[in-house]
């Protein structure tokens, strides 16, 4: 049996994926893994869909804390890419011009209006 070298393996545990309602019906429901959902919960962030998936796979969501919010675009109603990028943005906050593709920098900028980078790193460090 051919074994993939560990460095090339993609670790994807189906048991750690949480589907909110029915992800595959292409409505306003989100898909996010349990770890990322816990991270958003610890940040006291609420996520609300603004639009259904369009023909290109894009949709909009509103991220809110208390009475302020920011609208972001997500792909295929999957929140994991933006949350993973947010984690990297928090880790690399001191580094200038880190590339961002999914809106993690935009989300970090929004969160910094409510929490310090130290608070965000502490929440991230609890994982």
User: pTM of the predicted model, to two decimals?
Assistant: 0.69
Whether the CB-CB separation of 33 and 17 falls below 8 Å is answered with yes
CA distance 30 to 9: 26
Using one digit for the tens of pLDDT, what is the confidence trace for 28-66? 578 888 899 999 999 999 988 888 888 888 888 899 998
pLDDT in the model for residue 126: 61
CA distance 77 to 95: 29
Tell how strand 31-33 and strand 46-49 pair up: unpaired
More confident residue, 43 or 126: 43
């Amino acid at each position: 049996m051919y074994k993939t070298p560990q460095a090339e393996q993609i670790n994807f545990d189906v048991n750690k994926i949480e589907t909110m309602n029915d992800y595959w019906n292409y409505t306003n429901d989100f898909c996010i893994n349990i770890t990322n959902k816990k991270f958003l919960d610890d940040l006291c962030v609420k996520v609300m869909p603004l639009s259904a998936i369009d023909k290109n796979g894009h949709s909009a969501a509103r991220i809110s804390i208390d009475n302020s919010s920011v609208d972001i675009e997500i792909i295929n109603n999957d929140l994991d890419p933006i949350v993973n990028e947010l984690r990297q943005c928090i880790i690399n906050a001191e580094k200038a011009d880190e590339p961002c593709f999914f809106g993690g920098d935009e989300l970090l900028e929004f969160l910094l209006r409510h929490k310090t980078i130290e608070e965000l790193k502490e929440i991230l460090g609890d994982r």
